[in-house]
Chain A
Amino acid sequence: MRSLRDRLLGVVVLALLVALWQIVANLKLVSPVYLPGPDRAFTALVHGLAASDLGAKLMGTIEHMIEGWLLASIAGIALGALIGASSQARAFIAPTLEFLRPLPASAIIPVAIAVFGLSPAMALGVIAFGAIWPMLLATIHGFAAVEPRLYEVAAALRLSRPAVIFKIALPSALPDILAGLRLGLTVALILAVVCEMIAGLNGLGNWVLLSARMFRSADLFAGVILLGAVGFVGALALNIAERRLLAWRAP
């Protein structure tokens, strides 16, 4: 766990950055049309949440992100377990994965649009496709790295096949899977925003794009701040879950 001092330092650095931002804005080093100060951005944020539909946009983005991420997680962990549990499957499938993995998720957006149209289904498909990789690869790795001695223990106890997967392999792969879940969430947020921009879906991506087009820089920054907050809270939640689930690890 991080010490109190480190946390304080983190807050100080953040405060310094905000202050620097304010100074740059006040000095008009960048035109106010493009760069509002934190004061204006914060006012726009409050106003957007209270009087405009920024709250609905926020919920839209969270929904897209979580739906895609959940789909990717379930599929990634299940597929990863299937592939990882068999060294033969790993040998057969690894080359295909190595080919598909570096493919940027944005590259499949045109394909997804052709198949699904500019619809929420397209967004779900793109987000899930992009976010599945970290989960899939981490799960395969986690399953492949199970201590062989534990499989012998399982054989000696005559554990059933499902028991071996759920009681030995999955918990053993959990640290890897959790790391994959965290990476996947970041990817899901990025792709949610991209899809909202491209398909005009209700969400912060759409809000940010429209604000930029209308030169409403304060609104744009309000959206960006919210996006940062979503990513931060998501990572925090996963950190807490991880600390609880991996309490057994030696400190």
Chain B
Amino acid sequence: MTAETATKELGAARLAGADARRGGAGRDALIEFAGVSLAFAGKTVLDKIDLSIAKGEIVCIVGPSGCGKTTALRLASGLLAPSAGAIAFNGAPLQGPRRDVAIVFQDYGKALLPWRTAAGNVSLALEAAGTPRKARPQRIGALLAKVGLPNHADKYPSQMSGGMQQRLQIARCLAQEPIALMMDEPFGALDAMTRQELQDELLDIAAASGATIFFVTHDLEEAIYLGDRVIGLLPHPGRVGIELKIDLPRPRDQVATREAAQFLRLRRELYDFIKSAER
């Protein structure tokens, strides 16, 4: 159906985008943390983080619960300001949330407007950006098709499955035409099949748009599967404990990539890191 054709088209784009992505760390930095610390009520949550994310890079953040992954993402999105240190975006200090940085929240059920249909929810981002009313329907249709929801424009979130709701949230984020996507465990609440589908669709979107992705997850395999780089945080206070460059070829494949010797080696390394971090 339409959803499948959309995915196929993206598949082609994914092949084309794969080479562009391989440049990796050599490119300009989009987001730079320089000695960033954050304290909540005197308690240090993140301690002197240095981090540079290149344009078009997919960086995955893992770490034990409570180590500050969400906080790091909120800092990078401008929802929080650091207590010390500086965050630069595209070379200039980050002042606050930006329209070209989209945030995909884990709790999609709470991040959608329940009183608006799927089309209405996507429309919110277009309204915020000042897209003329007449131009909206066509763009909404295209965005919903892109995330595989072309026939659900008139459904309310309460009438959609969890996977569909998260797709809808991603559509709204894409309506911002973001150059960066901030994702906080976006697929954590989904079943394994849906999760893998969405992982591949995300990689397709990233390849087609060249967007930079900051991806927080609990799932070590997910981090390796998606990322150009995986960063592991240590808790109390949160700091960078490990940094793994992922050279697995793109486009990635749910079966072949996960069977590759390098994938298994990286998984082992990350697993050992998390085990020691939790201790």
Q: Whole-angstrom distance between the alpha carbons of A174 and B77 in the complex?
A: 30
Chain B neighbourhood of A149, CB < 8 A: 105, 107, 110-111
Question: Is there an interface contact between A150 and B111, defined as CB atoms closer than 8 Å?
Answer: yes
Stretch at the interface among B27-35, B112-120, B253-261: B112-120
Q: Whole-angstrom distance between the alpha carbons of A248 and B127 in the complex?
A: 21
Main secondary structure of the interface of A (DSSP, over half): helix
Q: Whole-angstrom distance between the alpha carbons of A167 and B102 in the complex?
A: 19
Contact with B along A232-251 (1 / 0, CB 8 A): 00000000000000101110
A197 near B: Cβ within 8 Å?
Answer: no
Stretch at the interface among A66-74, A113-121, A151-159: A151-159
B85 near A: Cβ within 8 Å?
Answer: no
Min C-beta distance of B3 to chain A, whole Å = 24
Chain A neighbourhood of B159, CB < 8 A: 250
Question: Is there an interface contact between A155 and B111, defined as CB atoms closer than 8 Å?
Answer: no
Given contacts A157-B176, A158-B97, A159-B128, is CB(A152)–CB(B79) below 8 Å?
A: yes
Q: Whole-angstrom distance between the alpha carbons of A248 and B115 in the complex?
A: 5
Min C-beta distance of A152 to chain B, whole Å = 6
Q: Whole-angstrom distance between the alpha carbons of A102 and B103 in the complex?
A: 45
Chain B neighbourhood of A246, CB < 8 A: 115
Q: Whole-angstrom distance between the alpha carbons of A246 and B105 in the complex?
A: 25
Contact with B along A142-166 (1 / 0, CB 8 A): 0000010110110111110001000
B178 closest partner in A (C-beta): A156
Chain A stretch 170-206: residues in CB contact (< 8 A) with chain B: 171-172, 174
Pick the contact of B113: A150, A156, A249 (CB < 8 A).
A150
| Interchain residue pairs with CB less than 8 A apart (6) | A149-B105, A152-B105, A171-B115, A172-B115, A248-B116, A248-B156
Q: Whole-angstrom distance between the alpha carbons of A157 and B103 in the complex?
A: 9
Question: Is there an interface contact between A248 and B114, defined as CB atoms closer than 8 Å?
Answer: yes
A168 near B: Cβ within 8 Å?
Answer: yes
Question: Is there an interface contact between A248 and B110, defined as CB atoms closer than 8 Å?
Answer: no
B252 near A: Cβ within 8 Å?
Answer: no
